[in-house]
Structures are given as structure tokens and as C-alpha cells.
Amino acid sequence: MFEDSSFAIHPNKLGKSMDSRYHDIGEILSFEQQGHVYIITCKNGFMKIVFYQNDIVRIVMNPLVEPSLKSSVAVIEQPKKISVKLQQLKDRIILTSTKLSLELFKTPCRLTIRDETGEVLLTEGSKGIGTKATSEVVCYKVMTEDDHFYGFGEKTGYLNKRGEKMVMWNTDVYAPHNPETDPLYQSIPFFMAVRNGSAYGIFFDNTFKTTFDFKTETDLYSFSANGGQLDYYVFSGPSPKDVVRQYTHLTGRMPLPPKWALGYHQSKYSYMSESEVRELIHNFIEKDIPVDAIYLDIHYMDEYRVFTFDQHSFPNPQQLIADLKSKGIHLIPIVDPGVKKDPSYNIYKDGILKNHFCKYLEGDIYIDEVWPGESAFPDFSKTETQKWWADNHTFYTDLGIEGIWNDMNEPAVFNNTKTMDLEVIHDNDGDIRTHAELHNLYGLLMGMSTYNGLVEQLQGKRPFLLTRAGYSGIQRYAAVWTGDNRSFWEHLEMSLPMCMNLGISGVAFCGPDVGGFAHDCNGQLLTRWIQVGAFTPFFRNHNALDTNSQEPWAFGAKYESIIRKYIQLRYRWLPHLYTLFSECSRTGIPVMRPLVLEYPGDKHVWNLSDQFMIGENVIIAPILRPDTFHRVVYLPDGEWINYWTDQVLIGDKHLLIEADLETLPIFIKKGAIIAQGASKQSTMVAETDMQIHIYPDENVASSYTLYDDDGTTFNYMYGQYFEKKITCMYSGDTLNISVENIISTYKPSWKQWKLIVHLANENTKLFINKKQIPNENIIFHHESHTIEVTVDQ
């Protein structure tokens, strides 16, 4: 077309429109301080530097104008007033806090950050900060041989992302979830670098499409964005756990979920009717398999209209929900953002009349296809729309619902781009932005609206929200499941590093679809996957339409009995898991951890992707291959105990471990103390069998603080909880245990607890709070070499 016009010589046709070369910010021309903000003018751009606290510093660059210090909704902290020493030297400027020093070299502008000991954390080399093309901001840092990279949220592939190039752009990927499939549903532009046991972190707070490149150059890595400012925070560690604490201080931590959300969840696309749900529950109870939540996928609705029930298949949802609750089970309906275009449908009508849907600048509402056909999409960037959407949830909460599942909130749209037109605008409370800029925030803002609505409506009860899409900060509102995986052994394997990296990225409450979503599962795969699921923070079995059923009993008695054993094991471990959830809600340190978080100096764990830790002293090393009954397990330095046999193994070694289909290899570090309870039909059944297991380590003191609270309200935030501290010292044949209830403003349901000491012998003398326990009060189990004592709360 137009070939006979000047279009024939259009620069695009000549391939000269996009200058993708790097343009450096150039030398520093001026430097000034305004309060706690340092303002730097360079030849080709402007920078601001702000210390948030002694170990967090923010750097913002805008190539065109003085940078704005408005941060995205991910950031919930303001800078603290700290004292920073300023030194102006001829060739550089140095800013020093108690934890880090930042050196800004002048010609050209290059940054080096050192830790408190003067060791270089990060530095820039031949390239630093600059631009590419017309609106792309980019930052290069030096990558040394010893650097290993973790975090980045939900990514395929192995644990260590060195050598990878990753994009952040929330995307609905039904298939294939291969190692190179990128991006997926979440955008968490955060990572940590671990070098010789120490770590620093970077959070690149830019909501446009961003790219993290550890691949293109051998001695530099970069992060860049398609628009906006170069706005990033550096966390100075020095340990990997410090980096997680610092990042989650800035972007928030998971509030404690209701206890029932930690139980086993059963889902399917879709349980089609009330009677199908009732039969499902009947089976769980009959078969003595614990369950805490059942999901309703899109078929529960009237032609996929959100905030409705299909009256034929679900004639009396209120009764159904009440009946389930009386059995300790919660019902969780799916809620997608697409609102069916239908003038007779109240939500659509109301949304149009009150101006709640996304639009083009010219005024037309953006309409595109999702499950209900043509649909409109709420503009969650607007506070009023958030409130409107939240208020609509009274439809569910009035029926007794306490948990919601948000899906398709990338947002996913059935068109070639898979999402909303990038030219659609978001009102953003009057500060209009394009979808290109706010796309990655859509799921987070929907989650924020939904969670806040539920908190208000449930009047003091903790809600549960599950989401597919999100951005940094999503942990404040929702658990994340990793989307449409498949019933492949490879996907079971890939889910481990994916969830470990999500945990490092602040999203501790996560898990994959257990059993795999698409494709047909089989008994062996489901069994092995349930074994892993019993220890992933979020534990839900979900599968797709037209695939084999994969409820725990779907593949016959042999598999059913092992699956039962492991779902029950999950419930037995809940007191310990809940204690770790509580730690996570206070510190951000994830429940499910890569070994590198605990042993960052050990080279064997830098890319160890097929085993993980629960807390600081339990290793789970699952079988991830079909017909495989052994595997190599790496145990770090120290002594480890096989959970099933109490056999002691010496670490700092790779070991070949046998594991028949019944066995999930679990190793407990000597010195560990772990609380366990009884298996139960659901978490709603009160705990009566509290056990505290001690695995004493000779001549090494160890301690544990068991946490508990009512599991349902926010009272824990106001000081109502229970903490029991147990300290243990074993020397000679004497085991000294001190027990102290640090806080008991909440009284647990159990009145007594059992102390179980492993690796004991008949001569072990036991002292509790300095009083020797008489032999007649001790039960010695010869076969297991454990001693058992019952103690009052």
C-alpha cells in the first residue's frame, strides 16, 4: 500500500527507526542535597538517591526530567530519617550509612555499593545507567564468576537464574510451561545475588514490561524497562535472609492466613453441581481423608456471570455452604475480572452506569472476549472501583463464603495479544496511565480490592484469597498458585525451584496444581506429587476439564492409602507449619526454602533445585521421576536424621537414598525441635495430641518457639497468641530441657503435651526446668529409641 507515496521510504522499512544502542547517562554535572534526597544531574539524565534505612537505598533515574519519587503501590514504607555521611571528593561522591556506602564516580557516572566492612556488593563497569531506543531505561551491573541469582518470582527452569534472560509481563500461559517459557502470570521484579555466602538484593520498581538479562553479556547483567523511570532499591544484606527481610519490609509480608487455608484443598474444573460437591465431601469423610476446602470453578455461575450461581445446578448455595462448614470445610468460588456484556445483568449495568470499566481515552469502553463472551473489565486503578468491586462480594460473604479464587487477572483476554489493548487507559484516580504501564499491576489491584472487601465483610475473621496474577506486594493479600501446569513429571520437578524462588521473592504462600492441571494424571505421579504437596505452603489438587479425575482415590486402593497417609501427615505437621507461617508473617522468611537460604556458603546448594527445606532444619528430598525408588540427596555439613527410621547420617555429602512409593525422604537436622499434632478430618477439629519432638545434638544447645493462636481472627495482631519456648541441652546422658510459656494470652485447645525425645536410651536422665523426671513418668519405646513424657500445658 501507498508504495507510490513517500511511505516507500518510511524509516521503519529501512530498519532504521529503533536505535537499540546503549546511551550512557554520561558524566555528573552537578550534585546537591535537599533534605534526605540527593539530586544528581548528569549529561544525559537526572538521578535521585534516597536512603530508606541504613541497609536500603533507592536510586531513581529519569533521562528527561527530574525523577519523581512516587513509588508504585508495591512499596508500603516511607524513608526513615537516618544519618548519612556525605563526602565530596574530586572524582567521586561517597554517601555512608551504618550498613552501606555508596560511591558515585563522576566521569562517567558510575555507582559502587559496599557493605559495612568495605567489601564491594555491586559495581558498574563499561556500562552503567542509561537508555536504549527512545523510551527504554536500562541499568548494567558487573557480574562476577561467583555471583548466583535467585528470586524473580514465578519462573520456569532451575533455581539459580545465572545465564537466564527473563521478562516480567503478566501472561496467561495455558501451554507449554517449558524451561524456556517466559513470562508467566506473576511479575516480581526482585532478585538477590549470592556471592561467597553473602548477598545483596535489587527491587526494580517499574510496572512496564521489564527484562532481566544475565545471559547476553558474560561480565555484566542488566535490568531494563520499556518505559517509565529507572527506579530501583538496593538491599545490602549481608545474609540472604537479611535481603528477604529487607525486601519484605519494603513491600510487605503475608498476614497470617486462616488455619483452614493451610489444610488440603480439592479443586477441579469443574465440580458441576451441588450434588457432585456433596458426593465429593461424602467420599472424603467416608475414606478418612482430611480436607479443608473445595473449589467451585467457572461452571457454578449463570453463564459465567461473576456474582451469580446457576440456579439449576446450585439451587441452594447457602445451605450447601452451611452444610460443608458444619463438616469443617470451606467452599471457595472462582471470581474472574471479566464482566459479561449484558444490559440485563446487574453488575454490568451498574459498572457502566457508575463508570467502573476500563476505557479508551476517547471514551469507548474496552470490550473483549473471555469465558462469558464479550466482557468489560473493572478499572481497579481507581479507588472507587476497588470499593465497588469489594462491596459486590457481599453476594458471597452473605452466603457464608470466606475464601475467593481470583483467576484470569493478568488480565487474560482471548485475543492474539492474550491481554487488554495496551492503549486502554486506567483512571488511576485522575492520574491517567496506559495499560502498557499498569498491566502488571492489574492482578495485584484486583487482589487488594477483593481482600480488603472480604476483611470488611467477614468482621474480624481472616479471609483467604488465591490469585494467579500479581506484582511485588501481592503477598499482602493473596496466596499464589502457579497456573496451568500439566500432569508431567517434569512439571512436578519444575514446581520446586519455582516455589522456592517465589518464596525468596516475598510470596511464601504458594504452590502448584498438585497432580498437574492439564493432561491426564496417573496413580504414581499423583502419589509422588501429593508427597511434595504435603510440604508446600499451599496444597491444592486441581485438574482440567476432560482429563482423568485425580481426587485422592481416583487411581485405586494402593495409591489411595499412600495418598491418605501423606494428606494426614500434612495435618500432623500443621503445628510446626503454622509456627513457620507465623515467623514468615513477621519476618518474610519463607516456609519452603531453598538450601541456599540456610547454607549460602556451600557450593553444592547454589543450584540445588530438587530438594527444599521446611524451616531451618528439615530437608525434603522428593522422588521426581517415574518408577524411581532411590535418589541422590545432598545433606549439608552436620548430622541429619532420617525422619522415618531415626538413622543418623553424616552431612557434607551426597548420599544415595532408597524411597519406595510409600516414602518421601525427609531429613531432620540434629538439634531440631519440631511440634506435631494429630491427623484430623479438617483443621476445624480441635488439636488434642500436641507433641514436641526433640532430636538432641550432643553438647549443642538448641531452642524452638512453638506458636499458636485462634487460627481464625486477627486477634493475634493485637497480642492474643500463645508462644512456648523450649530449650534443650544434651550432655553425657543428661538432657536438660527448659520450657517457658512466653506469652499465653491465647489458650490452646490442648491442655497437655507430649515431649518425645529421639535417639534416647534407657539411661537418659531427663530434667525439665531443672527437676528430674522420675523414671515411672517416662515411657521408653525400645524399638524407636524414643522417650515420652506427658507435660501440662
Q: Which is nearer to ligand GLC, 246 or 543 (CB)?
A: 543
Q: Is 269 in the site for ligand GLC (CB under 6 A)?
A: yes
Q: Which is nearer to ligand GLC, 297 or 379 (CB)?
A: 297
Q: Is 298 in the site for ligand GLC (CB under 6 A)?
A: yes
Q: How far is the CB of 484 from ligand GLC (least distance, A)?
A: 5
Distance CA 235, CA 100 (A): 9
Q: Which is nearer to ligand GLC, 260 or 517 (CB)?
A: 517
Q: How far is the CB of 297 from ligand GLC (least distance, A)?
A: 5
Give which of 153, 141, 36 is closest to 97, Cα–Cα: 36
Per-residue exposure over 568-604, b if at least 16 CB sit within 10 Å of its own CB, e if not: bbbbbbbbbbbbbbbbbbeebbbbbbbbbbbbbebeb
What's at 766, amino acid-wise?
L
What is the signed CA dihedral for 393, 396, 400, 401, rounded to 10 degrees? -90
Q: Is 512 in the site for ligand GLC (CB under 6 A)?
A: no
**What is the SS3 assignment for 509?**
coil
Q: Which is nearer to ligand GLC, 178 or 218 (CB)?
A: 178
Q: How far is the CB of 334 from ligand GLC (least distance, A)?
A: 6
- Single out the residue of 252, 333, 483, 696 in contact with ligand GLC (rule: CB under 6 A): 483
- Single out the residue of 379, 407, 708, 723 in contact with ligand GLC (rule: CB under 6 A): 407
Total number of residues that touch ligand GLC (CB under 6 A) = 10
Q: How far is the CB of 440 from ligand GLC (least distance, A)?
A: 18
Given a contact cutoff of 8 angstroms between Cβ atoms, the answer to whether 408 and 468 are in contact is yes
Q: How far is the CB of 626 from ligand GLC (least distance, A)?
A: 25
Q: Is 205 in the site for ligand GLC (CB under 6 A)?
A: no
Binders of ligand GLC in range 526-545 (CB under 6 A):
542
DSSP element (H, E) containing 37: strand 37-42
Which of the residues 24, 147, 407, 437 is marked catalytic? 407
- Single out the residue of 55, 147, 297, 560 in contact with ligand GLC (rule: CB under 6 A): 297
Q: How far is the CB of 473 from ligand GLC (least distance, A)?
A: 21
Q: Is 484 in the site for ligand GLC (CB under 6 A)?
A: yes
- Listed in sequence order, the DSSP H helices in 670-772 are none
- E-only strand ranges, 513-584: 513-514, 540-541
Q: Which is nearer to ligand GLC, 486 or 564 (CB)?
A: 486
Give which of 87, 119, 83, 117 is closest to 103, Cα–Cα: 87
Is 231 annotated as catalytic?
A: no
- E-only strand ranges, 169-258: 186-187, 190-195, 198-204, 210-213, 220-225, 230-235
The residue length of the chain stands at 793
Question: What residue number has its CB nearest to ligand GLC?
Answer: 269
Which of the residues 124, 402, 437, 484 is marked catalytic? 484
Angle in degrees, CA 190, 196, 202, rounded to 5: 15
Which of the residues 242, 410, 513, 710 is marked catalytic? 410
Is 32 annotated as catalytic?
A: no
Q: Which is nearer to ligand GLC, 249 or 486 (CB)?
A: 486
Binding pattern for the stretch 585-614 against ligand GLC, x by CB under 6 A and - elsewhere: ------------------------------
Is 407 annotated as catalytic?
A: yes
Three cell numbers written together for 590? 519463607
Give which of 191, 194, 188, 189 is closest to 240, Cα–Cα: 194
Q: Is 334 in the site for ligand GLC (CB under 6 A)?
A: yes
Q: Which is nearer to ligand GLC, 298 or 499 (CB)?
A: 298
Q: Just list the catalytic residues.
A: 407, 410, 484
Residues of this chain that interact with ligand GLC (CB under 6 A) are: 269, 297-298, 334, 407, 468, 483-484, 517, 542
